[in-house]
Structure 1
Amino acid sequence: MPDATLTFEDGTVRVETAPETTLDPPHTETDARSKTRRAPAFRYAALRRWLDERAVDYEDSVLDAPDLPNVASTYELREYQHDALSAWQDAGRRGVLELPTGSGKTVIGLKAIEDLQTATIVVVPTIDLLEQWRRELEAEFGVPVGQLGGGEQTVEALTVSTYDSAYLRADELGDRFGLAVFDEVHHLGGEGYRDIARLLTAPARMGLTATFERPDGAHEVVAELVGGKVYAIDPDELAGDHLAPYDIKRLEVELTPEERERYEAANEVFTNYLAKSNIRMRSGSDYQELVKRSGSDPEAREALLAKQRAREVMMNSDAKVDALEAILDDHRHDRIIVFTAHNDLVYRLSERFLLPAITHQTGAAERREILGRFREGDYSRVVTSNVLDEGVDVPDANVAVLLSGSGSEREFTQRLGRILRPKDDDRPALLYEVVSAETAEERVAERRR
């Protein structure tokens, strides 16, 4: 009789030991009802490793994950992709890989599946990525691929799921996969989504992202659930060889006298309240304190509204529209994506320059049509708010115009990545940052860089 038995039950790994043993496995708690010990499902790999290191004889019936039928990908890994996969393998087949948008993170995931030949779930944040991964898996491996999300609920040995669907079905999926690949893994730091990784027993885990660190520090939770960052490479290291070389140009524009008056007046309301309330705004927690106060303090609420008015003036100024007109004229033969922070500006630019517009209000069918026409060359430019930052298969462009955005490094990296795929010619990709001079937007631009 083995000294220990591992089974899966109710999202946990149950450890039953023989009466004569005195094992005290880590990460476990005593279950008084069954007189066994239990550990969260994501600790399964650590439990096995602990037992193996002590040469404990144990019976393992946790996973119900079938082997795959000898799948193989036709992709050849580039040197940096091979290094990334090797780093993940050396880390016990756990960990996060941080690579720029357009560098082929999906290919590394496919090679990890080929390496392990075990049932795999790929978890993605959007329907676009769901469809993209499913196409790749079917084309490369020629086996049925399950889909959870987008109106379909089927489970196969290879399955692609949205984060939302995986969260809703995590209990029943817990023991069915040997490998879990989390695309855009920083999403896993969200409070609810964490349960996906907690309830899966998958001993092999791979996170893929262009920007791992989260401003709220939740990447530390992701590191516990998936593994820490085991490989990272900067866009600059790939530019010219594997990604398009690129330049970044910052254009500073002036507010009109009327805009300057509105900006200064709104900003004064905000700064006066901060001085009066001794709020320093040195971190996100300071801003959250102001938001909390606004629920009961009318002055705090007015300060927040004033701050929003000032942001709208500096981000949507007339001079930015004029600057975009000049850029569009200079790059009339290029493929251009224009990014803004506000939908109102998207529609304003769309109407003025006859640009196809994509926002969160754009239906899925219309968005696919616009991107399809952009890919085929029928459209040479599009304008969008935040919906194309990540999780969407965006056709190649060589010029991006950042008219407005947040101070997020992740947002900046994702937008830069939209123009970094290799091109047929040697011209560098070009990112324009258009910034309102002598406003808080200058600090925002520095922060995201």
Structure 2
Amino acid sequence: MTSPTSSLRSLALSDRYRSDQEDVVANFYVPAFSVATAYSRAVGYFTSTSLALFARGIEAFAERGGTMRLVASPHLNEDDIIDIERGYDVRAVIERATLRELDVEQRETVLDGLGLLGRLIAEGRLDIKLAFVEQEGRIGIYHEKIGVFRDAVGDMVGFTGSSNETYGGLMANFESVEVYRGWVAGDGARALRLEADFQALWSNQTPHLSVERFPDVARNRLIELGANRPQASLPGRDNALTPPPIVTTGRAQLTIPERLTVRPYQREAIESWLTHRGRGILKMATGTGKTKTAMIAATQLANVLRQREEPLIVLVLAPLQHLVDQWLTEVESFGVRPVAVYESSQKWLPIVEDQLNEARMGQRSVVAIVATNSSFAGDKFQSVLSRISQPLLIIADEAHNLGSSTYRSALPPNATYRLALSATPERWFDDEGTDALIDYFGPVVFELGLGAAIELGALCRYLYVPLLVELNDDETNLYVDLTSQIAKRLSAGDSLEDADPDSPMGFLLRQRAGVLGHAEGKLAQLRSDVRVRADSWFQLVYCAEGRRPTEPGDPPGANQLQDVMNLVGNQLQLSAHSYVSETPRAERKVLLRRFGTGDDLRVLVAMRCLDEGVDIPDARVGYLLASSSNPRQFIQRRGRLLRRADGKEQAEILDYLAVPQAGTPINFDVERALLKRELERANEFGKLSKNYEMTLEVLRPLKERYQLMDM
């Protein structure tokens, strides 16, 4: 019989144990096991390793004839859950899952621990049951953590807290346990309540929980193992049960790459975001490392959650597939292999479901998913997203794209942490969409403009060369006619500032921009400029979209991209290649790699590409044959050219501005209003350049003509 000096009451137990102050295992579990005669424990989940660790803690307890009851959650994968929900025999599915876990190849120390459990089961001193949530036809994970010790004189200790009987729960993580001593006033009722909760659980009388006996086949497997394993003493708190080095992607953790230097402004941005409880917008100039900043923030967050034994689900959203590909590479450099969500759901859906289930079971600390905006908004992914109950971080790249009515309605309300990235988060002529982004992600918590980024050395300095090109006679006639029609629309009450792209005014403005963008004189000027730089590598040409506008009834005009490719590749005999939206992703990677070598592909000619997110830091010369009046486009294009690279001291931007011939009879007020928007872009480019005086000198005659000297 247990003496009073070897009872629970004789122990100097605290009411709380916390990893920052003491060893939870050595100061609580081991003393309690040394005097208790009965132990009831409900934990979140079990694996073979966790069962072995459980055995290590109860060896001396078992030698004195102690009895144990253990309730744990079976390690169900997505197939198991689906089978149960479809009505398959529950016990058969649980048996399959349990055997799958026991059949995993184990080290000798784990097998020794499982062997002890088998012997205890054979002697009738250990019983195990498995619990899972079953509610409204859906299966969930049982994740409660309670325990009760009893001794021979009837005293009891109940406890609850963050620890699991797992390697992470008992040995590696930061843990805390609340302890209720039955003989202490105020504690006794709580301890009894925990015991009653466990008894209801053991008797399968807890609403919405299903509790099943440990499968006979698995029980026999353990008993057989116990009979065959030597009865050696199990190791204590040393490295014998420490898991081997992690090599599987499923157990990988986010870590900052060793060769990555975190810049002071990136650290400031992350600290500001964390201060705002993990929500906010980083408004950082293109090329300043928003992607890496976001991944560093995600790593910091994952570290905090891992201390609490909580997983982190990271969902990165990007507008285009090639940006998803870039993010996949970036995330993997931080130690976790992400799942790409685009194209057929048959490729990504099973993987996403399996990894999320592993996170729910505590088998995966980080799940990383990178999705295109369109796949993210699709029904299949939205269904997956709605079922995530673990901490979820949304990282929105080029976040302004999510302000559309379609995408913003798909943003998940269950995302605890939200991080938006954009050099230009404000949506052009869409205050409602901008407000919706701020409402969801939070305010701008950090801003790094282009000028500051250049001063900090995050971006390189640049020369800006505006070039005025006059329209020819045919272009001038068409331009004057379009301007006249625009003036009539303005007189009828239409506005330049908020014209719907699909409205008559929107059509006229696009046609006018097409005339300017496709001005024939730009090709002659481009020939001269490229010939001067024929020996330079890393050159980009941005072409006007579509074809040159023509008078009604005339055949379609020329395609500027084709004209430029003919000029650069055939006439000037420079190695060049087009880069357009139709270029396959695999070919794009090859082109960018060839371009970056500096000895193969001299010029890339783009149309509707090489704007958002494409990483081409080696680019040094940019020819802007056309740019929309949307500030986002020219900001993105400038950012492509200002990224730093080895041997790159500065960039050069040549901006081709088409203007009507001097003396052209045209509506002065309308032309002045339209021209003002284009000069604002040129002024924005010029004011941060190394040669701003040149910009002012070139634009002065035009400003004087249209009375815009105050710009």
Deviation per CA, 1:352-371, whole angstroms, max 9, x where unpaired? 22241122233333333322
Deviation per CA, 1:171-218, whole angstroms, max 9, x where unpaired? 321325421111111111011111332x24121111111111112121
Shift of 1:258: 3.2
Deviation per CA, 1:385-442, whole angstroms, max 9, x where unpaired? 2222103333520111111111111111100011111133463211121101248674
Residue 237 of structure 1 aligns with which residue?
Answer: 452
Say which of 395, 399, 402 aligns to 1:181.
Answer: 395
Give 1:151-170 correspondences, 5 Å limit: 151=344, 152-153=347-348, 154-155=351-352, 156=355, 157-168=367-378, 169-170=381-382
Structure 1 residues 326 and 127 mapped into 2: Cα distance closer, same or farther (>3 Å)? Answer: same
Residue 280 of structure 2 aligns with which residue?
Answer: 95
Give 1:340-351 correspondences, 5 Å limit: 340-343=543-546, 344-351=559-566
Residue 231 of structure 2 aligns with which residue?
Answer: none
Residue 624 of structure 2 aligns with which residue?
Answer: 402
Structure 1 residues 307 and 161 mapped into 2: Cα distance closer, same or farther (>3 Å)? Answer: closer
Shift of 1:140: 2.0
Residue 51 of structure 2 aligns with which residue?
Answer: none
1:203 is aligned to 2:413 = no
CA distance in 2, matches of 1:122, 1:323: 42
- The 3-state SS of whatever aligns with 1:71 is coil
1:271 is aligned to 2:487 = yes
1:128 is aligned to 2:322 = yes
1:320 is aligned to 2:505 = no
Residue 468 of structure 2 aligns with which residue?
Answer: 252
> How large is the Cα RMSD of the aligned pairs?
2.6
Residue 297 of structure 1 aligns with which residue?
Answer: none
Residue 445 of structure 1 aligns with which residue?
Answer: 678
Unpaired segments ≥5 residues, structure 2? 1-134, 137-249, 303-311, 356-366, 547-558, 570-575, 662-670, 685-711
Residue 172 of structure 1 aligns with which residue?
Answer: 384
Shift of 1:96: 0.6
- The 3-state SS of whatever aligns with 2:409 is helix
Shift of 1:273: 4.7
Instruction: Answer yes or no: is the 8 Å Cα contact 2:522–2:656 preserved in 1.
Output: yes
Residue 204 of structure 2 aligns with which residue?
Answer: none
Which stretch shows the higher mean deviation, 89-98 or 389-398? 389-398
- The 3-state SS of whatever aligns with 2:592 is helix
Shift of 1:138: 1.7
1:149 is aligned to 2:342 = yes
Return the TM-score normalized by structure 2.
0.49
Give 1:66-145 correspondences, 5 Å limit: 70-74=253-257, 75-117=260-302, 118-141=312-335, 143-145=336-338
Give runs of ≥4 in structure 1 deviating > 4 Å: 67-70, 303-309
Shift of 1:69: 5.1
CA distance in 2, matches of 1:94, 1:353: 47
- The 3-state SS of whatever aligns with 2:483 is helix
Deviation per CA, 1:92-120, whole angstroms, max 9, x where unpaired? 11001011222111111111121111221
Structure 1 residues 410 and 306 mapped into 2: Cα distance closer, same or farther (>3 Å)? Answer: closer
CA distance in 1, matches of 2:490, 2:337: 59
Residue 386 of structure 1 aligns with which residue?
Answer: 608
Give 1 or 2 for the bigger CA radius of gyration. 2
Instruction: Answer yes or no: is the 8 Å Cα contact 1:407–1:447 preserved in 2.
Output: no
Unpaired segments ≥5 residues, structure 1? 1-7, 10-66, 295-302
Bigger relative CO (Cα 8 Å, ≥ 6 apart): 1
Amino acid at match of 2:263: R
Instruction: Answer yes or no: is the 8 Å Cα contact 2:399–2:421 preserved in 1.
Output: yes
CA distance in 2, matches of 1:195, 1:203: 17
1:262 is aligned to 2:456 = no
Amino acid at match of 2:339: G
Shift of 1:447: 4.0
CA distance in 1, matches of 2:502, 2:322: 34
1:358 is aligned to 2:579 = yes
Shift of 1:309: 4.2
CA distance in 2, matches of 1:111, 1:267: 50
Residues paired across the two proteins, number: 369
Give 1:366-377 correspondences, 5 Å limit: 366-377=587-598
CA distance in 2, matches of 1:186, 1:304: 21
CA distance in 2, matches of 1:321, 1:445: 20
1:339 is aligned to 2:552 = no
Shift of 1:383: 1.3
CA distance in 1, matches of 2:399, 2:466: 30
1:214 is aligned to 2:427 = yes
Amino acid at match of 1:100: A
Instruction: Answer yes or no: is the 8 Å Cα contact 1:125–1:391 preserved in 2.
Output: no
Amino acid at match of 1:145: P
Deviation per CA, 1:288-316, whole angstroms, max 9, x where unpaired? 3x955x5xxxxxxxx77665543322211
- The 3-state SS of whatever aligns with 1:413 is helix
CA distance in 1, matches of 2:482, 2:317: 43
Instruction: Answer yes or no: is the 8 Å Cα contact 1:436–1:442 preserved in 2.
Output: no
- The 3-state SS of whatever aligns with 2:649 is coil
Instruction: Answer yes or no: is the 8 Å Cα contact 1:98–1:212 preserved in 2.
Output: yes
- The 3-state SS of whatever aligns with 1:387 is coil
- The 3-state SS of whatever aligns with 1:246 is strand
Shift of 1:247: 2.4
Structure 1 residues 115 and 327 mapped into 2: Cα distance closer, same or farther (>3 Å)? Answer: same
Amino acid at match of 2:495: M
Instruction: Answer yes or no: is the 8 Å Cα contact 2:462–2:652 preserved in 1.
Output: yes
Amino acid at match of 1:214: R
CA distance in 1, matches of 2:421, 2:510: 34
Amino acid at match of 1:339: Y
Residue 192 of structure 1 aligns with which residue?
Answer: 406
Instruction: Answer yes or no: is the 8 Å Cα contact 1:409–1:447 preserved in 2.
Output: no
Amino acid at match of 1:109: A
CA distance in 2, matches of 1:334, 1:113: 37
CA distance in 2, matches of 1:400, 1:339: 7
Residue 28 of structure 1 aligns with which residue?
Answer: none
- The 3-state SS of whatever aligns with 1:443 is helix
Residue 50 of structure 1 aligns with which residue?
Answer: none
Amino acid at match of 1:222: L
Instruction: Answer yes or no: is the 8 Å Cα contact 1:186–1:214 preserved in 2.
Output: yes
Deviation per CA, 1:131-165, whole angstroms, max 9, x where unpaired? 11111222221x34222114441324111111112
Instruction: Answer yes or no: is the 8 Å Cα contact 1:397–1:418 preserved in 2.
Output: yes
Structure 1 residues 306 and 150 mapped into 2: Cα distance closer, same or farther (>3 Å)? Answer: closer
Instruction: Answer yes or no: is the 8 Å Cα contact 1:173–1:200 preserved in 2.
Output: no
Structure 1 residues 242 and 178 mapped into 2: Cα distance closer, same or farther (>3 Å)? Answer: same
Instruction: Answer yes or no: is the 8 Å Cα contact 2:617–2:644 preserved in 1.
Output: no
